[in-house]
Structure 1
Amino acid sequence: MPALEQELVKNLKERLVKHLESTGGYESIDFVDAGGSAAIFKVQRNDGLRAVKVFNPNLFFGAPAAASKRRLDVQRRLIDHKCPSLIQTYFADESQGTAIIEMEFNDWPQLSKQLGKVPDDAIGRLMGQLVDAVKYLEGMNIVHRDIKPENIHISTDFQELKLLDLGVAREFDNSDENDAAITDAGVGRPFLATAQYSSPEYLFRLDEPTDKLWKGLNFYQVGAVLHDLIKKEALFQYEILLENRWLVARAVLTKQPSFSDTDAKRLSAEKALALRCLTKDLDTRLSLVGWDEFQFNKIDDPLTTLKTKLSKGLGHLGEVSKSTSTARLAYERQEYCTRIFERVRTELIAACGTELPVTMITDYASNPANIAFTVSPEKSILVRIDCDVSWKSGVYEKSALMEAGAMFQSNSSAARHPETPMKACLEMGIGAAEDETVTAIANKVAELVGLALSRIEATGGDASTLQGTSV
């Protein structure tokens, strides 16, 4: 989003002067910077230096107003907070026809400009402070949404940091706020936080705004900062240098970060944690990461450490490296199909009982995956119901279309008939409404079995005449 025009910045300064004069006065005002939605000024007041953010008035009128006012309310809740690693807020309200936020002035440099200078032995302390700030916000039911090195200031001795810029923060459970992936002005970029540091599900709107989404985003963005501290360079720096937003978005979705230094033992625990935090899949990420893992300086005895690792299961050891690979995706798809169709099989067995035994034949590895159910109402005939699960690609690689069809076949062969007519019946996806999916598939198979039984009954006892025909 382009920076504010100079004429507007001048207007915002005039509004700020009126605000300051009506609230105790000031000694000096200096322009600092301007983004796409606000200008920042350094203000000397009687009680000390302030960083004052003055917003574009257009954000508080018309369509953007409701969301802008909600975010202002969030910042107002942080006035006089008690978290030392979170920038302090002194005033947040509407004034002079716009919104003005007075904050602690911090002249430490941005972490993004100091990555190459931060010593390894300071990383644990700094990450602990960042986690404290994020957990403090979580405790207040607030998600920052734009945690990145540019929004973190670090002391010159690398012992302290401050998390800044809560301009796009929101409450976890604000069901009225539908701006999970738009800019603070409602136009421009199709996302709110910086794409480079946005998790895939947040950037591409793959999940609804829920506690689960925000917790996953917190882990991802904090892990990205840890990645940068370890690697001494920004996440997806190559794509950023090319200045191609499509390549950046593709990297967020598909490129697994790695550490290229030759010393495998250097910060090995920190590297492993960063990669777990940057796992592409939201559910996998949440199962692999907890805030307690950022206590790098905590020393446990080896038995306690081993017990903690094993409590998470061994699967996570290779999880991250495979999360975006073909093998990992195939594994997730197969696990999903197995889970769904085993439940369908259970439903069918419960319905058919011993009077009509149900057999399931599976080929989960292919695409489309094929799952078949067979029943044999009479000795001379077998009914085979085929379910094909065709997986999609790209952003929708965890969604699939299911088609179903049924044929009458000889009881001597359960192999799939090459002329089975298939008809699309539902769309399904990993992690999406599994109970409803199981019910829909079981009902479809039951419908086809019922049709088959009716046709067999209509033959008057010579069901063999149906062999080779579709149900």
Structure 2
Amino acid sequence: MVDVRGLVGESFKGWSLAKELGRGADGIVYLAQKEDEDRAVKLFFPESLKKNGLEEQLERIELQLSLAGKKHHPNLVEVFDGGFCSDTGTIYLFMEFVPGSTLEVLLGKLPQASVAPLIAQLADAACFLESQGLVHRDIKPANIIVNDDFTSLCLLDLGIVYESVATEGDDNRLSGGEFVASLRYSPPEFVWRQEASSDNSAWRAITFYQIGATIYEMLEGRCIFDGYDKPRACLYDSVRWRTPCFTSTSTEDWIVHLAQSCLVKDWRERVSLIDWSSFSGPSEAADFSQIRRSIRLRQIHADEKKVLEKEMNPIDPGITLRKAIWEIQGRVFMEVRRFLIAEQIFPRFSGNHKSISEVEYLLQYVFEADESLNFKGILEFNVLLSLPDASQQSLEVSISALVNGESIFKGLWLEIFSVEKVFERCKLALYTVADKIVPVA
């Protein structure tokens, strides 16, 4: 059995392996070239075949090849050929080569105008798979390629695609007998295999959740459950109990509402709130059904919040909470002070921090006017740290700046209980303020 790593420049089944495109837990993908044609070929790691079993892996390949020769969907990677290669002793799969960047790499860089069309394309590809009796089971940003002008995407990696129609001898579990997908992007019923059903809507609910987790990252520009995922046991708890919080203010309301509905913990509630048409955009006019779904979503979120409070044992809003905020504000104050002393673009300053209430602290920095640095007025920089909701275990960070009493900057964010996160917010705000003050030559 040949180790499939480091084969760039080698030949495989008449194709030249030009470069490595990526690698995952079970294999490596190369750009394969022949004359003027490009394809992607996945070669499976020997250890993966030992772990999963050669027969099982071949069954997965055959399931992917069942799509070959059928009507191709433009937003789904096309599969051409695959099987066992006796020369190398490994399994291979030839696929369409899709140029572009993974959505994972593009998080935080997507134009707002591109989000809705890309969501519709992703859902359409997943819906197409369902029409073929298949479910992807591993939809996530790393498995999605977006083209360079952000107008089109392609859903990749059909490695754990599964038949959504029950077959003889199948135990009909939602997970297909074992959890093989990505924990961060999968719903509770899939991770814990708690539901047994031959109802196709149960599989659809898993797909909706994974699309919702992907939408979350498209909107927020960061991983879902970021800050609540270490150690790994915390990520399991977050998947099971925590409702993701949306902070983006530049997104259309219907997209946020769609993602929130996708991420509902109870799969039956999930499929009652949305269907495939929900991903195409908002309805032209509100109807009773939409109003009912909106009300029901708020009720579900209220219930999930109560469960979170019970199961996750959040920070006590008493002594423990006051101590946590007190420690963070003190450390942030000193970090900002050290930064300002070391950073030569800011003038001399004085600083103080004080308690506004048991759960509110104000950090203040006042800068002298300095003609040599083009700071022509007195700058007042304020950071207010407060706790808006104990159950969310997050800090509200409000930053404002005034020059000679006139406001030049305001910002409001929700952050986890982290000195580093709050300090980074303060540092970025200070640079932004300095950029506004110092004139362009």
- Report the TM-score when normalising by structure 2: 0.62
1:78 is aligned to 2:59: no
Instruction: State how far apart, in whole Å, the 1-side matches of 2:78 and 2:133 are.
Output: 17
Q: Report what 1:253 is aligned to.
A: 240
Whether contact under 8 Å (1:279, 1:323) holds in the other structure is: no
Whether contact under 8 Å (1:91, 1:101) holds in the other structure is: yes
Q: Report what 1:289 is aligned to.
A: 274
Whether contact under 8 Å (2:20, 2:30) holds in the other structure is: yes
1:158 is aligned to 2:150: yes
Q: Report what 1:325 is aligned to.
A: 305
Whether contact under 8 Å (2:31, 2:38) holds in the other structure is: yes
Offset of residue 154 of structure 1: 0.7
Q: Report what 2:253 is aligned to.
A: 268
Instruction: State how far apart, in whole Å, the 1-side matches of 2:52 and 2:100 are.
Output: 36
Instruction: State how far apart, in whole Å, the 2-side matches of 1:309 and 1:180 are.
Output: 31
Whether contact under 8 Å (1:143, 1:171) holds in the other structure is: yes
Offset of residue 245 of structure 1: 1.3
1:9 is aligned to 2:26: no
User: Which of these residues, 184, 188, 192, is aligned with residue 204 of structure 1?
Assistant: 192
Whether contact under 8 Å (1:202, 1:213) holds in the other structure is: no
Gaps of 5+ in 1: 331-471
Structure 1, residues 254-278: CA drift from partner, whole Å, max 9, x if none? Answer: 11011124x4x74111111111110
1:88 is aligned to 2:78: yes
Residues 327 and 145 from structure 1, CA distance in 2 versus in 1: closer, same or farther, beyond 3 angstroms?
closer
Offset of residue 130 of structure 1: 0.3
- Report the TM-score when normalising by structure 1: 0.58
Offset of residue 59 of structure 1: 5.7
1:127 is aligned to 2:119: yes
Q: Report what 2:287 is aligned to.
A: 306
Instruction: State how far apart, in whole Å, the 1-side matches of 2:59 and 2:240 are.
Output: 30
The 3-state SS of whatever aligns with 2:25 is coil
Q: Report what 1:64 is aligned to.
A: 53
Q: One-letter code of the match for 1:135?
A: C
Instruction: State how far apart, in whole Å, the 2-side matches of 1:197 and 1:161 are.
Output: 19
Whether contact under 8 Å (1:280, 1:323) holds in the other structure is: no
- Structure 2 counterparts to residues 48-447 of structure 1, below 5 A: 48-56=37-45, 64-80=53-69, 81-96=71-86, 97-175=89-167, 176=169, 191-208=179-196, 210=198, 211-240=200-229, 242=230, 244-261=231-248, 263=249, 266-296=251-281, 300=284, 302=285, 305-310=286-291, 312=292, 315-326=295-306
Instruction: State how far apart, in whole Å, the 1-side matches of 2:132 and 2:145 are.
Output: 22
Structure 1, residues 122-157: CA drift from partner, whole Å, max 9, x if none? Answer: 111001110110000000011100000010111121
Whether contact under 8 Å (1:281, 1:323) holds in the other structure is: no
Instruction: State how far apart, in whole Å, the 1-side matches of 2:19 and 2:221 are.
Output: 32
Offset of residue 250 of structure 1: 0.5
Q: Could you say what the CA RMSD is over the residues aligned between the two structures, in angstroms?
A: 3.2
Q: What percent identity do the matched residue pairs reach?
A: 27
Residues 66 and 213 from structure 1, CA distance in 2 versus in 1: closer, same or farther, beyond 3 angstroms?
farther
Query: Computing the radius of gyration over CA atoms, which structure comes out larger, 1 or 2?
Result: 1
Whether contact under 8 Å (1:42, 1:51) holds in the other structure is: yes
Residues 31 and 118 from structure 1, CA distance in 2 versus in 1: closer, same or farther, beyond 3 angstroms?
closer
Count residues with an aligned counterpart: 304
Instruction: State how far apart, in whole Å, the 2-side matches of 1:114 and 1:154 are.
Output: 8
The 3-state SS of whatever aligns with 2:287 is helix
Q: One-letter code of the match for 2:4?
A: V
